[in-house]
Amino acid sequence: MVDRVSEFDGQVAFVTGGARGIGRACCLRLAAGGARIALNYLGNDAAAQETRRAVLDAGGVCELFKADVGDAEALDGAVRAARATLGPISLLVANAGMTRLFDHSELTLDRWRESMRINLDGAFLSIQAVKDDMLARGGGSIVCISSIGALRPRARQIDYCAAKAGVIAMARCFAEALAPAVRVNVVAPGPTDTDMLAELDQSTFPARIEATPLKRFATAQEVAETVAFLLSDRSSFTTGQTVVLSGGAVMLP
């Protein structure tokens, strides 16, 4: 039986968008498994420090690395600093993302490009920043956070859904390209009880919960547990897969 308290001992996890929500939950869960946490974030210094304190208070190791995931030079610098501070990175959670609601008439090219820059380019650049070192060291595990928005139409999230669908396709291609040394998988959550829910149309929540077989939204901790499973040796024969966490609202295949 796997000892989940020590399954990530000796490993460094780089978590993008780690200050809040799903990213924070991933930092806490991976630290609980023994990983040293390189927490990447962009703007919320207070939230990043709060997450770091929570990891430290639980007996873990966490350092902060501030960088825009859509800026290749800044992100590369953060990854280099993380390696220098904590050691080689063997685990990556490409979690950073953003969403806003726009009618198609409001979706300008600039808004489209910004969504792609953060949600899709950010995941791509995160993998690019760690993959060569993982390959050189002979192993690594990557999980990208997508969304059930990638799997169903949403009239007011055209840009976000397109970007998150791109994350799934990109991860599949990287899974084949980086095999057998590095595994790449995806978690696609449905609505999750985080700050990002405030960006969505809350008037639809009762109907969405009613249409969900499990009759609720996910918790960030549930998403983090699935991320930990996919990063760990418990999923050692799994790569290129998308795990949907939607309470049954979306089912694959």
| Catalytic residue (one of 8, 14, 65, 160) | 160
User: Would residue 41 show up in a list of annotated catalytic residues for this protein?
Assistant: no
For the chain, give the secondary structure using H, E and C: CCCCCCCCCCCEEEECCCCCHHHHHHHHHHHHCCCEEEEEECCCHHHHHHHHHHHHHCCCEEEEEECCCCCHHHHHHHHHHHHHHHCCEEEEEECCCCCCCCCHHHCCHHHHHHHHHHHHHHHHHHHHHHHHHHHHHCCEEEEEECCHHHCCCCCCCHHHHHHHHHHHHHHHHHHHHHCCCEEEEEEEECCECCHHHHHCCHHHHHHHHHCCCCCCCECHHHHHHHHHHHHCHHHCCCCCCEEEECCCCCCCC
- Residues identified as active-site: 160
